[in-house]
Amino acid sequence: MSLSIIILAAGQGTRMYSDKPKVLHTLAGRPLLTHVYHTAAALSNREIHIVYGHGGEQVPEASREFHASWVKQEEQLGTGHAVQQVFPNLPDVDNILILYGDVPLITEQTLEVLVDAASESGFSLLTTYLDNPRGYGRIIRDDKEKITAIVEEKDASEDQRKICEVNTGFMVVNGKKLKEWVNALKNENKQNEYYLTDIVELAVKDGVNVTSVIADSPIEVQGINTRSQLCEAERYFQLVQAHHLMNNGVGLMDPGRFDLRGELEIGRDNEIDINVVIEGRVKLGNNVTIGSNCHIKDTIIADNVHVLPNTMIDNAVIGNGCRIGPFARIRPDTSLSEDVHVGNFVELKKTDVGKGSKVNHLSYLGDSHVGSGTNIGAGTITCNYDGVNKHQTIIGDDVFVGSDVQLIAPVKVNNGATIAAGTTVTKDVAENALAISRADQKAIPKWKRPTKK
Ligand code: UD1
Ligand code: CA
């Protein structure tokens, strides 16, 4: 039997105290809804129906890459009402899996078990046991342990509130029956909502044996309602990722102080110190070490590279044997060839640096090209911006740039040239020439320092 999937994502998320729709808050750098969507997409090749509402078009607009059918629930009248909005698009023949957009850690494996459990009975429910079941719908069973109903916390009696088996919200129901039962829902309860959970009682009345699957990891079915819960889910997710990386050979100094917000492709013998954040798509070669407090985003790093502490790299390509940092900032569209050294307080933007060249201290190179074997002295700055346009600086191979040099772009320094310290380069420099621009030094002998009056 085919499987159609509905993701409910219309709710407001009042307890986040945020103007952003709850499902767009991020876990490991991606919206909550994106996590659920990807899990859903892995389970079924049928269209995925997403019910949205609160926050309006922001949710579909932020999720353009999904292949989904979006259904707007104009007013949030309850989970049953939300499911009902999808009916015109739902085939009767399918089993329907219902997911929540604010429960991001649910796994494909658990859902597969749930889907299997519904293949016979036509109705399966994912439940879990919580030490503190507050806020959840409680699972009511008869003396033969058969499920008879779900009672919401607000409608539950004192005895019912003591039940620790709770509704996770995930269920698989036969499509035709789902429509019948949901269309029969009433909103006569404390919240005046159409509760999807009330279909359990209707199914039992129709003689259906509602089967349950018990999720053994409560965090997997934890809904995100508050920022604390979001943070709990984040830490859990990060630890899972960290241990996965360690199990594949990455040396993490502390899995509790490592954050991966995207995808990390690893090599052998990668060592990562504490408080490192990896974002987007990052690829590491072999024998790469990353020092503490580094932030690396959308970057490819080759073998034997050492990134020293407090370095930021964004959208760059780093060649074999490079050494970067501490305190370096590599900005987008930068590429370093082999054995390049970039030192402290150096900023590179849209710059490529050739083999073996060094930019070791306090420099800014933007929109530039540096050849191989070149040394850039401390405090060198490419003046690439004239207030309106950006201009290129080209520095050849085997060039020596002394300290405190300004290169007024567009300008070209040819191979083998030397630039004396303190020079402001305004004209191209010929091959093997020395460029020097320096005011003559004066000396006033026996200079008396001013004294305080
Ligand atoms: C729901 C269940 C409860 C379960 C809990 C698990 C019902 C009536 N109750 O309660 O048994 O223990 O989830 O987390 O189903 N939504 C809509 N439209 C609406 C209302 C909700 O799309 O009109 C969406 C929300 O965005 C959310 C999900 O449905 O993703 C659950 O809604 P929420 O209001 O959080 O339900 P709970 O009260 O937590
Ligand atoms: Ca909830």
Q: Thinking of the domain 227-435, which architecture would CATH place it in? A: 3 Solenoid (2.160)
> Cα separation of 229 and 235, whole Å?
10
pLDDT of residue 91: 85
CA gap 88, 71 in Å, rounded: 10
249 CA to centre of ligand 1 in angstroms: 40
How sure is the predictor about 51, in pLDDT bands with cuts at 50, 70 and 90? very high
Protein residue with its CA nearest to atom 13 in ligand 1: 169
CB of 196 shorter than 6 A to ligand 1: yes
Q: Is 102 in the pocket of ligand 1 (CB under 6 A)?
A: yes
Q: Please check whether residue 368 is in contact with residue 386, taking contact to mean a CB–CB distance below 8 angstroms.
A: no
Query: For position 169, what pLDDT does the model report?
Result: 96
What is the reported pTM? 0.93
How many angstroms is it from 225 CA to the middle of ligand 2? 6
The listed CATH number (3.20.20.100, 3.90.550.10, 3.40.50.150, 3.20.20.70) that belongs to domain 3-221: 3.90.550.10
* Residue 394 pLDDT class (50, 70, 90 cuts): very high
Q: What is the mean pLDDT of the chain?
A: 97
pLDDT of residue 42: 96
Residue 144 CB contacts under 8 Å (≥ 6 apart), including other chains: none
The answer on pLDDT for 128 being more than 90 is yes
Instruction: Please enumerate in sequence order all residues whose Cβ is within 8 A of that of 19, keeping only pairs 6 or more positions apart, or say none.
Output: none
Of 421 and 92, the structure prediction assigns the larger pLDDT to 421
Domain with CATH 2.160.10.10 in the chain: 227-435
Longest dimension (CA), the chain: 109
Percent of the chain with pLDDT over 90: 96
- Is pLDDT at 1 greater than 90 in this prediction? no
Q: Which of 38, 361, 369, 391 is catalytic?
A: 361
- 54 catalytic residue (yes or no): no
- What pLDDT is attached to residue 93? 81
Residues 251-278 have a mean pLDDT of 98
**How much is the pLDDT for 92?**
84
Mean pLDDT of 328-346: 98
The answer, yes or no, to whether any atom of ligand 1 lies below 6 A from the CB of 79, is yes
Please list the residue range(s) of the chain that carry CATH number 3.90.550.10: 3-221
Q: pLDDT tens digits, residue range 407-423?
A: 999 999 999 999 999 99
Question: Does 47 score more than 90 pLDDT?
Answer: no
CB 9 near ligand 1, within 6 Å: yes
Give pLDDT, residue 45: 86
Amino acid letter, 432: N
Q: Is 437 exposed, middle or buried (0-12, 13-18, 19+ CB in 10 A)?
A: middle
- Ligand 1: atom nearest CA of 73 is 18
